[in-house]
Structures are given as C-alpha cells and as structure tokens.
Amino acid sequence: MRHPLGLPGSNPKNPAKSTSASPAARTARISLGRAFQPESRSYFLLLGTTMFLMLFGLVMVLSASSVSSYAGSQGAFGVFWRQAIFAAFGVPLMLIMAQTPVRVWRRFAWVPLVAGIFLQILVLYTPLGIESGGNRNWIGIGGFNAQPSELIKLGLVAWLAVILSKKEPYLNRFSHVLIPALPVAALGIFVVLLGGDMGTAMIMAALVFGALFFAGIKVRMLAIPVVIALVLTVVIVLTRSSRIERIQNFLGIGGGDQTGLSYQNQHADWAMAAGGVFGVGLGNSKAKWLWLPAADNDFIFAIIGEELGLVGAVVVLALFVVLAISFLRIVRSSTELFSRVVTGSVMVWIIGQAFVNIAVVLQVLPVLGVPLPLISSGGSALVTSLLAVGMVLSIARHNSRSVDDLSKSSIR
C-alpha cells in the first residue's frame, strides 16, 4: 500500500532501492572517518622532528652561507632563498606522499631507480654532466642542477623493499637474496662511483645492507657481501691518489699544513673550539668568512658548533637520535616486510649519513663529502630526504589503520 504522503523510498514494490543505498552510505561514512582519523604518535614524532631539523637547517644555511653567497655575487641571501624554495617544494611533496597508499609505492617503486640511473649515465657521458669538487655527480638542465644519485637512493629503498617482500618465503636461500637485488643495487652504486663520489656510494651500500638486515636476512648470509664490499672499498681507494692523500691526512702521515688537504679539517677544529659551551652567537661565526670551505654544506656542523656551542651541537645530535627512535617505532609496528624494509633502509640512509657527516667534522672519519641530512644546503638532498620521510609517514598511517581495523574486527 502506498504511503499516504507519497514519500520516496516507502514504496514496497521497490525494496532493493532503499536497501542498496545503505551500504554505499555506510562506506562513505567509513571512508570519511578514516580520512580524519588521528594519526599515531610515531607519525607525529617523525613529522615534527623532520620539520624542526629542516627549519633549523634553513636558519643555519642562512648564517653559514651569507658571506660566500655575497662574495659569489648572489647577495647575502642567495643560497638561503634557493634552499628555502626547495624546502617549500619538498614539504608539500612529503605530505602528499604521506597521504598516498602504500600499494602505490609497491607499483611504481622501479620508476625513481630507473630514472636515477638513466640521469646518472647522462651525467657521465653527456655535456649535461657537471663536475664539482673533483666529482662528476651533477646534471644541469635549463639552469637547474640536481644530483641523480639522490634519486637512486630513493629508488633503491622502494625497489629493494618490493623485491625482498616478494621473495620473503625464500630469503633463507642465498641465491634468492643475491638475485636480482644485489646486482641491481651494485649497478646503482657503480654508476655513482664512476662519477667519483665515493662518500655517496658508501651511504648507498649501507642503505642496501640495511634493507637486507631489516628483511630478516641471516647474518652469516650478509657476511659474504660485506667482505666483498670492504675489499672493493680498499681497491677503489687505492685507485685514486686524492683518496690515498685523504687517508694519509686522516692518519697524520706526512704531516698536515694549512695549505694542504688538512686545511678544511683544521679550520673545522678551530671553529668547534671557538664555540666553547654556548657558542659565539648565531651569525657571528668567523670560519664562514671564507676560511672554512663548504661551510653551508659538508661542514655546516662546524658552524653549528662555533655559533651555538657544545649545547647546540648536542641538541642536533639529540634530534637525530629522536628521529632514529621514531623510525624504530614504526619498524616495530610494521607487520609487513615491505614496510619494515622501507623504514629501516630510510633510517640507515638518513641517520647513518648524519653521523658520518658529524664524524668527518670531528675527524673521527676521513673527509667523505656527504652533507648533513635535512640541514646542509643542497636542494636534491633535501627534497629526496623529505620524499623518503614521506614514504615512511605513509607506512606509519598504514600501520595505525591496520591496527584499528584489527581491533574493530576483534570487537565485532
């Protein structure tokens, strides 16, 4: 019988119409609820620490680069504005990646790896390649310079995670660990080495071993590639006189003078010593007055120590420790091998590179020419680091959603 007011949906002749709307509405409510669902503490810990390091880096780049930028006819703010533009470009990309489902990274993991290797080959064998500091590791297109090696790092993170997760049932066999992961990774590292950038190649090698470790590969299986990598490192060092001189300078062989390779190390030491406990004050560095090469890049930690003192240096170290803790929390909450490998290898990349950079400034390691992640000037390094963090943030969101779905299904 028809409703006396003729209300829609009250007609018994078409009951399917009224019931079919219910699941759709329910799905819409669920999707909307998931979109505005609070993120996990690990998510905000990682995001907050990353943003703080990046903003702190902008301040220090402004301070460390003002003199060299002015001397280079870019104005005192030239290097800073360029870094700020990259930050303004990288942060939205990081947030977009954080909102992107994990399945997207699985599907397109090969894209940055192939693109990075292709661009690095262009660097090596075409006029587009730019040599800087004895390394041919930059590509210049339309007035824009970039480091393809940074893109290769990002590609290795995602691609290795995909390959290792697909082979998860067979990772107890060395042949499945070896092929195709290690040959492809070796290719990426090799094309970077051809450009002479051994520091970046070493970080990439550490990233690869980090991926294998977090994939649960047995230590005895890792021993063979580790030994091979160490032997190759020695061979590569011995094939270039500048690398031998760096090692000799680090070991104190042949003495050090202010005009030789020890120049940079000595001025970094003097800058750190001048800072004392509380520093000489932000912007008051003397080393940045063209005494310390790469003051806004590889040796920016020396400027931090000089201007902000031991306190500022310890705070930076503490922030990277907090960043490492946030990565480890996300690794622990990950139930999928893909997520563990991505998060673990990004942690090895960023935290490992940070401590290598700081160790070089403190003369614990010889000069390797790697920047301080999220702090040093350099657009390619900053953007790719933010993209890598964005991938991990996406995994943190995925983990929290999975836990919520599991708890809801258990309640039902």
Express each pLDDT in 217-249 by its tens digit.
988 888 888 888 889 988 888 888 888 888 888
195-225 b/e (C-beta count within 10 Å ≥ 16 → b): bbbbbbbbbbbbbbbbbbbbbebeeebeeeb
- pLDDT for the residue 142: 81
pLDDT in tens, 99-114: 999 999 899 999 999 9
CA-wise closest residue to 401 among 334, 342, 340 = 334
* Mode of pairing for the β-strands spanning 135-141 and 144-146: antiparallel
* Region for 294 from its dihedrals, namely left if φ exceeds 0, alpha if ψ lies in -120 to 50, beta otherwise: left
- pLDDT for the residue 402: 64
Average pLDDT over the chain, rounded to an integer: 87
On the 0-12 / 13-18 / 19+ scale of CB atoms within 10 A, 28 is: exposed
Is the distance from CB of 202 to CB of 352 less than 8 angstroms? no
Residue type, 176: H
Q: What is d(CA 123, CA 121) in angstroms, rounded to the nearest whole number?
A: 5
The long-range contacts involving 94-97, CB below 8 angstroms and separated by at least 24 positions, are 94/50, 94/386, 94/387, 94/389, 94/390, 94/393, 95/390, 96/390, 97/387, 97/390, 97/391, 97/393, 97/394
Model-wide pTM > 0.85: yes
What does DSSP assign to residue 237?
H
Who wins on pLDDT, 260 or 294? 294
For the beta sheet containing 135-141, the strands, ordered from the edge strand earlier in sequence to the opposite edge, are: 129-132, 135-141, 144-146
Q: What does the pLDDT average to over 382-409?
A: 82
CB-side neighbour CA atoms (13 Å) of 148: 30
Sign of the torsion formed by the C-alpha atoms of 257, 259, 265 and 271: positive
pLDDT in tens, 81-101: 999 999 999 999 999 999 999
- pLDDT for the residue 174: 86
In the chain, the percentage of residues whose pLDDT exceeds 70 is: 86
pLDDT in tens, 46-93: 999 999 999 999 999 999 999 999 998 789 999 999 999 999 999 999
Q: What does the pLDDT average to over 167-178?
A: 89
* Mode of pairing for the β-strands spanning 129-132 and 144-146: unpaired
Query: Given a cut of 50, is residue 28 above it in pLDDT?
Result: no
pLDDT in tens, 357-372: 999 999 999 989 899 9
Assign 12 a pLDDT band (cuts: 50, 70, 90): very low
Structure tokens at 119: 């661009």
- pLDDT for the residue 156: 98
Residue type, 309: G
Q: How far is CA 134 from CA 65, 148, 242, 331, 390, in A?
A: 21, 17, 9, 38, 32
* Region for 231 from its dihedrals, namely left if φ exceeds 0, alpha if ψ lies in -120 to 50, beta otherwise: alpha
Query: Given a cut of 60, is residue 258 above it in pLDDT?
Result: no
- pLDDT for the residue 38: 56
Q: How far is CA 28 from CA 39, 402, 412, in A?
A: 20, 19, 20
Structure tokens at 302: 């020396």
In the chain, the percentage of residues whose pLDDT exceeds 90 is: 68
